[in-house]
Amino acid sequence: MTTLTVPIDNGDSVKIAEEESQRTLYPYVTGTSIVAIKYKDGVLMASDMGGSYGSTLRYKNIERVKAIGKHSLLGASGEISDFQEILRYLDELTLNDNMWDDGNSLGPKEIHNYLTRVMYNRRNKFNPLWNTLVLGGVKNGKSYLGMVSMIGVSFEDDHVATGFGNHLARPILRDEWHADLSFEDGVKLLEKCMRVLLYRDRSAINKLQIAKITEEGVTVSQPYSLKTFWEFSSFHNPTAGAEGSW
């Protein structure tokens, strides 16, 4: 049926008892990479809108970047249903925080810490939320960008990427990111990374959204697509001189 990622059990508990069948063994509907950078006024986060069901591109309108409260942006790759569950948890969290009515609101650092605790505790119970989360935000003029993985690895950096983005986008960001990028330069840099991902990640689609968070608030762009280039002369008849090659 579906060809999926490696299951968490290494054959140690092959026989799954009735009570244990609730554990997450493998993801079903997955989102691919997220790429995010800090820039002059805050944080920029890019993701495509695809949800893959194994090797089929089942859903093409999934928003994988959502605003959390007034100060944060959460992007997720991995299992979509677990992402929706996390959004519910955060909803509860922000609602309860609002009820204190003390003029304080949860900032990105607090949300990141909460998510780290949730992910790590789930992993300890062998029932992980199968996501890699990217948390970006601005509070009191300070921008924040961090990441939590499904096993609870959590850290903060100037630029982060999940999944394939780690291998394809991170090298570009390490080379070309610098502090105080303007909005246009930031978007250009993200688009450069997303284009490489589009060429080389099989689960990427050409429909992406870029979300921006500044002190003023969150803006999520309308979905749009990138221009790609396929007109290399050697692509027209690649094996003209080499029969039997690809």
Partner 1 sequence: MSQSTVDVSAKGGFSFDLCKRNEMLTQEGLKAPSFLKTGTTIVGLIFKDGVILGADTRATEGPIVADKNCEKIHYMAPNIYCCGAGTAADTEAVTDMVSSQLRLHRYETGRDSRVITALTLLKKHLFSYQGHVSAALVLGGVDITGPHLHTLYPNGLTETLPFATMGSGSLAAMSVFEAKYKEGLTRDEGIKLVAEAICSGIFNDLGSGSNVDICVITKGNKEYLRNYMEPNPRTYVSSKGYSFTKKTEVLLTKITPLLERVEITEVGEAMEE
Catalytic residue IDs: 24
Q: Which is nearer to partner 1, 83 or 164 (CB)?
A: 164
| Burial status of residue 27 (CB atoms within 10 A of its CB: 0-12, 13-18, 19 or more) | buried
Amino acid identity, residue 31? G
**Nearest-approach distance from CB 80 to partner 1, in angstroms:** 25
The least CB distance from residue 230 to partner 1, in Å, is 12
In angstroms, what is the minimal distance from the CB of 195 to partner 1?
7
* Shorter beta-carbon distance to partner 1: residue 171 or 217: 171
Nearest to partner 1 of 107, 163 (CB atom)? 163
Chain residues binding partner 1 by CB under 8 A are 164, 167-172, 174-175, 192-193, 195-196, 199-200, 232-235, 238-239, 241-242, 244-246
Phi (first) and psi of residue 92, to 5 degrees? -55, -45
Q: Residues near 186 by Cβ (< 8 Å), separated by ≥ 6?
A: 37, 39, 40, 44
What's the closest the beta carbon of residue 211 comes to partner 1, in angstroms?
22
Q: Which is nearer to partner 1, 17 or 240 (CB)?
A: 240
Q: Label residues 128-157 b or e (16+ Cβ within 10 Å = b).
A: bbbbbbbbbbbbeeebbbbbbbbebebeee
Q: 198: how many CB neighbours lie within 10 A of its CB?
A: 19
